[in-house]
């Protein structure tokens, strides 16, 4: 009977160690974590079958207490602290110079369907339209810059409401739509 008790305790300790290794050393929930859960479950089943329901309840309680202590103490360890971001990082995720492109004009260097590339102020920029198709070589205007997104539209000549394309002559909005 003492051998069974020692085996149950050993399985609980082994399961706890395997779970700790899975959490601290090996990323993800893989074979080691499954073996840890299996060892703890085996300890509970063995305790129930060999020692009765009281021993099984004690082994479950011991597993919960050990796991609770592990989760209480684990975040305070140096290893766990190195895995957690403790301070917020300041900065920009997007290129801050993109904001300077607001209202700039350029030329689409690829077809924008609706995303593509454009040359604006001498630099190649990834751009997107509001859903409109824009042919390569068409003149474009930056209508908005939202973080890393540069939103463009066809550039219009405001004097006569014509859309400028890559062609040498402007095309009116009606001609562009095919009406």
122-149 tens-digit pLDDT: 999 999 998 889 999 999 999 999 988 9
Confidence of residue 92 (pLDDT cuts 50, 70, 90): low
Q: Note the pLDDT of residue 77.
A: 78
Q: What does pLDDT average to over the chain?
A: 80
Give the CATH number of domain 96-177: 2.40.50.140
17-37 tens-digit pLDDT: 888 888 777 777 688 889 988
Q: Note the pLDDT of residue 153.
A: 94
Q: Note the pLDDT of residue 134.
A: 93
Q: Note the pLDDT of residue 106.
A: 95
Non-local CB neighbours of 35 within 8 Å, separated by 6+ positions: 18
**Rounded Cα gap, residues 87 and 138, in angstroms:** 46
Non-local CB neighbours of 5 within 8 Å, separated by 6+ positions: 51, 55
* pLDDT of 72 strictly over 90: no
Q: Note the pLDDT of residue 89.
A: 67
98-130 tens-digit pLDDT: 888 999 999 999 999 999 999 999 999 999 998
């Amino acid at each position: 009977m003492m051998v069974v008790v020692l085996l149950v305790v050993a399985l609980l300790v082994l399961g706890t160690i395997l779970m700790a290794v899975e959490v601290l050393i090996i990323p993800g929930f893989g074979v080691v974590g499954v073996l840890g859960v299996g060892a703890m479950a085996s300890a509970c089943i063995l305790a129930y079958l060999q020692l009765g329901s009281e021993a099984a309840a004690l082994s479950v309680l011991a597993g919960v207490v050990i796991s609770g202590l592990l989760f209480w103490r684990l975040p305070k360890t140096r290893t766990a602290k190195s895995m957690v971001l403790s301070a917020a990082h300041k900065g920009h995720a997007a290129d801050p110079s993109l904001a300077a492109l607001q209202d700039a004009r350029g030329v689409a260097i690829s077809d924008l369907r609706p995303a593509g590339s454009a040359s604006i102020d001498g630099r190649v920029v990834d751009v997107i339209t509001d859903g409109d198709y824009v042919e390569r070589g068409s003149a474009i205007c930056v209508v908005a810059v939202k973080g890393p997104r540069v939103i463009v539209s066809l550039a219009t000549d405001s004097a006569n409401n014509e859309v400028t394309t890559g062609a040498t002559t402007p095309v009116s909005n009606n001609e562009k739509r095919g009406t």
